[in-house]
């Protein structure tokens, strides 16, 4: 049992995925509070050295480290759709909390709820099922993941349970205003510049049903925006009535290409990205590949998307 494993472990490493979002980090932060209560030694690990400063409102944010401790005896991963997303490989028992369809139960114990809107929902359910008291810090951490992964309660997967969980977390002390302020009202100049440039160069295909964005190295250098910041325009493109699928390809140093796909759910994004060794959700998915000719690749993907639309 996962609880027994936690009980007998002394030093537990909580793992958020590379370039963590509020869901991955929020889940880990909620667990951090819980494990401290159990008087465990805890490490909050993430392979990314610089984490999005917009997440600094999360409790324990300052504890994030990219150094994996030598004396750990247990790991818990959050929101990692595949084992590779952990960013490390260790022969340690692993508890796997996630909500991605692509998750193949790589943990020793797995809490995968593909119906959950966020991984924090899976963690919340675990706390509730095991009578684990949720304090204010834990509530805020869980709420942050819920707000972010539900696109501020606008994603199609939002249902009565989403709002019930939101209600309970607010009662338990989550600060809604702080979450919104940090997650949505602190956009950097770099992100606004990137957004302007990207919306200007957006191309539409397939009778306006597919929006395509190309992010070259120059755009990233000139605006100073992160890839995560660039990806926000995908959701904006989907806000257009005709657009059902939005694709972004980002040129990476060394010849790689990072693909991000968002859909309205009619086309299964994770299915298309699986063809390129990637994964994710039905509505949003990504992959990283090495491809010599980006234009050929885009053409190939467009054919695939067109087929899926019919």
Q: For binding to Mn ion (CB under 5 A), which residues are involved?
A: 23, 79, 119, 149
- Give the closest residue to 40 by CA, choosing from 61, 14, 12, 81: 12
Q: Which is nearer to Mn ion, 9 or 21 (CB)?
A: 21
- Taking the least distance from each CB to Mn ion, the nearer of 79 and 229 is 79
User: How near is the Cβ of 119 to Mn ion at its closest, in Å?
Assistant: 5
Instruction: In angstroms, give the least distance from the CB of 142 to Mn ion.
Output: 12
Using the minimum distance from each CB to Mn ion, give the nearer residue, 150 or 223. Answer: 150
Closest residue to Mn ion in the complex (CB): 23
Q: Which is nearer to Mn ion, 149 or 229 (CB)?
A: 149
Minimum separation from the CB atom of position 159 to Mn ion (A) = 16
Helix (H, G, I), strand (E, B) or coil at 95: strand
Q: How far apart are CA 84 and CA 258, in angstroms?
A: 15
Quick one: 23 or 229, whose CB is closer to Mn ion? 23
Cα distances (Å, whole numbers) of residue 155 to 185, 238, 281, 290: 19, 12, 12, 31
> Strands across the sheet with 109-112, in order?
64-65, 41-45, 11-16, 74-78, 94-98, 109-112
- Within 10 angstroms of residue 56's Cβ, the number of other Cβ atoms is 11
CB of 102 to Mn ion, least distance (A): 12
CB of 281 to Mn ion, least distance (A): 8
């Amino acid at each position: 049992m996962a609880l027994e494993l936690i009980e007998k472990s002394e030093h537990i490493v909580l793992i958020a995925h590379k370039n963590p979002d509020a869901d991955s980090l929020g889940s880990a932060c909620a667990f951090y509070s819980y494990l401290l209560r159990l008087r465990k030694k805890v490490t909050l690990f993430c392979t990314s050295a610089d984490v999005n400063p917009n997440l600094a409102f999360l409790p324990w944010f300052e504890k994030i480290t990219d150094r994996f401790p030598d004396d750990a005896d247990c790991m818990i991963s959050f929101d990692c759709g595949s084992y590779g997303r952990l960013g490390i490989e260790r022969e340690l028992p692993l508890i796997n909390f996630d909500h991605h369809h692509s998750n193949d139960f790589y943990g020793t114990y797995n809490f995968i709820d593909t119906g959950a809107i966020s991984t924090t929902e899976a963690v919340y359910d675990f706390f509730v099922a095991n009578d684990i008291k949720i304090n204010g810090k834990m509530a805020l951490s869980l709420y942050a993941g819920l707000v972010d992964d539900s696109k501020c309660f606008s994603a199609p997967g939002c249902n009565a349970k989403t709002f019930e969980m939101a209600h309970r977390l607010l009662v338990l002390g989550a600060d809604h205003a702080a979450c919104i302020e940090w997650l949505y009202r602190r956009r950097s100049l770099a992100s606004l510049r990137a957004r302007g440039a990207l919306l200007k160069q957006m191309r539409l295909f397939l009778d306006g049903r597919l929006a395509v964005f190309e992010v070259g190295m120059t755009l990233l250098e000139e605006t100073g925006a992160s890839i995560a910041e660039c990806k926000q325009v995908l959701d904006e493109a989907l806000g257009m009535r005709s657009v059902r699928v939005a694709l972004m390809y980002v040129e990476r140093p060394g010849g790689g290409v990072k693909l991000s796909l968002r859909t309205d759910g009619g086309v299964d994004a994770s299915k298309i990205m699986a063809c390129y060794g990637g994964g994710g959700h039905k509505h949003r998915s990504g992959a990283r590949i090495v491809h010599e000719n980006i234009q050929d690749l885009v053409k190939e993907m467009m054919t695939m998307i067109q087929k899926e639309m019919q």
